[in-house]
Structure 1
Amino acid sequence: MMLLSKGWILKTLAFAILVGSIMEILERSGAIESFVKYMTLKRSIVKSPRSALVITYMIGVLIFIESSITSLIAGAVGKPLCDREGVSRAKLAYVCDSTSAPICSLLLFNGWGALLLGLIITQVESGIIHGNSVEFLIDAVVFNFYSMSALAVTFAVIFFGLYTKGMQNSTVHEYKLKNNDLKNANIWQMLVPILFLVLSIFAFLFITGNGDILKGSGSSSIFYTTLTTMVFMFIFYVLFGRMRAREYMIASVKGANKLFPIAMILLFAFAIGEVTSELKTGLYLASFASENINVSFLAAVIFVLSGIIAFSTGTSWGTFSIMIPIAVPMAVALDANIPLIIGAVISGGVFGDHCSPISDTTIISSLASGCDVVEHVNTQLPYALLSALIAIVFFIIASL
Structure 2
Amino acid sequence: MEGSIYSLIPPVLVIICVLLSKKVILSITLGIVSSALIIHDMNVIQAAQAVLESFLHLFYVDGAWNVSNLYLMAFLLLLGVLTAFIARMGGTSAFAQWASKHVKSGAGAQLLAFILGVIIFIDDYFNALTVGEIARPLTDRYRVSREKLAYIIDSTSAPVCVISPISSWGAYIIGLLGVIYATHEIDTAPFIGFLSIIPYNFYAIFSLLFVLVTIFWNIDPGKMKYREVAEIEEEVQTETGKASDLLVPIGVLIIVTLSMMFLTGWQAAGALDFMAILENTDTYLSLLVGAIIAIAFALFRYHRAGHRVYVKPFWEGIRSMTGACLILCFAWALIELISAVGTGTYLSGLFASMDFNSAYLPAVLFVISCFMALATGTSWGTFGVMLPIGAQMAMTLDPQIFTICLGAVLAGSVYGDHCSPISDTTILSSAGAKCHHIDHVMTQLPLACFVAVISCAGYLIAGITESMLLSLILTAVIFFASSFALKVLLAKKG
TM range (shorter): over 0.9
Indicate the residue corresponding to 1:24 in structure 2.
84
Per-residue CA deviations over 1:208-256 (Å, capped at 9, x if unaligned) read: 2125234212223222322232223223433xx1253x43443122201
1:316 matched to 2:372: no
Provide the residue aligned with 2:321 in structure 1. 259
Q: CA deviation at 1:65?
A: 0.9
Q: Name the counterpart of 1:305.
A: 368
Alignment of 1:4-23 (within 5 A): 4-5=59-60, 6-23=66-83
Residue 296 of structure 2 aligns with which residue?
Answer: 231
Distance 2:306 2:402 in 1: 57
Spell out, residue by residue over 1:334-373, the C-alpha distance to the aligned partner (whole angstroms, 9 max, x if none).
1242221111111111111111111111111101111000
Gaps of 5+ in 1: none
- 1:188 corresponds to: 244
1:75-121 deviation per Cα after TM superposition (whole angstroms, max 9, x unaligned): 11221112211111111111111111111111220111110011111
Task: Tell me, in whole angstroms, the C-alpha distance in 2 between the residues paired with 1:209 and 1:126.
Answer: 27
Larger deviation, residues 206-215 vs 169-178: 169-178
- Pair 166,235 (structure 1): closer, same or farther in 2 beyond 3 Å: closer
| Cα offset, 1:180, TM superposition | 11
Q: Quote the residue 1:91 is aligned against.
A: 148
Q: Against the structure 1 CA distance between its residues 4 and 179, is the aligned structure 2 distance closer, same or farther, given a 3 Å change threshold?
A: closer
- Residue 442 (structure 2) pairs with residue 386 (structure 1): no
The one of 212, 217, 223 aligned to 1:160:
217
Query: Which deviates more from structure 2 when the two are superposed, residues 378-387 or residues 271-280?
Result: 271-280
Give the root-mean-square deviation of aligned CA atoms.
2.0
Instruction: Letter of the 2:79 partner, please give it.
Output: V
1:140 aligns with 2:200: no
Who is 2:265 aligned against? 209
Which of 406, 412, 415 is the aligned partner of 1:342?
Answer: 406
Contact in 2 for aligned 1:31/1:190 (Cα 8 Å): yes
Over 3 Å counting, the alpha-carbon distance change for 1:304 and 1:128 in structure 2 is farther
Instruction: Tell me the alpha carbon deviations over residues 281-314 of structure 1, each in whole angstroms, 9 at most, x when there is no partner.
Output: 1121111012122211111111111111111111
Residue pairs, 1:263-278, within 5 angstroms: 263-278=325-340
Contact 2:223 2:443 in 1 (8 A): yes
My pick for the range that moved more, 21-30 or 7-16, is: 7-16
Unaligned runs of 5+ in 2: 1-55, 61-65, 268-276, 465-494
Q: CA deviation at 1:170?
A: 6.1
Q: Which moved more, 1:248-257 or 1:265-274?
A: 248-257
Cα separation, partners in 2 of 1:218 and 1:339, compared to 1, 3 Å: farther
Is the CA contact (8 Å cut-off) linking 1:84 and 1:175 kept in structure 2?
A: no
Higher Cα Rg, which structure: 2
The amino acid that maps onto 1:4 is: F
Whole-angstrom CA distance in 1 between matches of 2:390 and 2:284: 27
Query: 1:326 is aligned with what amino acid?
Result: I
Identity of counterpart residues, as a percentage?
33
> Pairwise mapping of residues 369-380 of structure 1 onto structure 2 (< 5 A)?
369-380=433-444
Deviation per residue, 1:43-62 (Å, 9 max, x gap)? 2x222211111111111111
1:232–1:176 CA distance, 2 compared to 1 (3 A)? closer
Separation in structure 1 between the aligned mates of residue 289 and residue 340 of structure 2, nearest angstrom: 30
Name which structure has the greater RCO, CA cutoff 8 Å, separation 6+: 1
Aligned-partner Cα distance in 2 for 1:157–1:146: 16
* TM-score w.r.t. length of structure 1: 0.92
* 2:218 aligned partner, one-letter code: G
Structure 1 distance, partners of 2:293, 2:384, is 31
Count of aligned residue pairs for this structure pair: 392
Q: Distance in 2 between matches of 1:169 and 1:34?
A: 24
Q: CA deviation at 1:175?
A: 6.0
Partner residue of 1:71?
Answer: 128
Q: Is the 8 A contact 1:20 1:259 kept in 2?
A: yes
Counterpart contact for 2:88–2:235, Cα < 8 Å: no
Q: Is the 8 A contact 2:90 2:236 kept in 1?
A: no
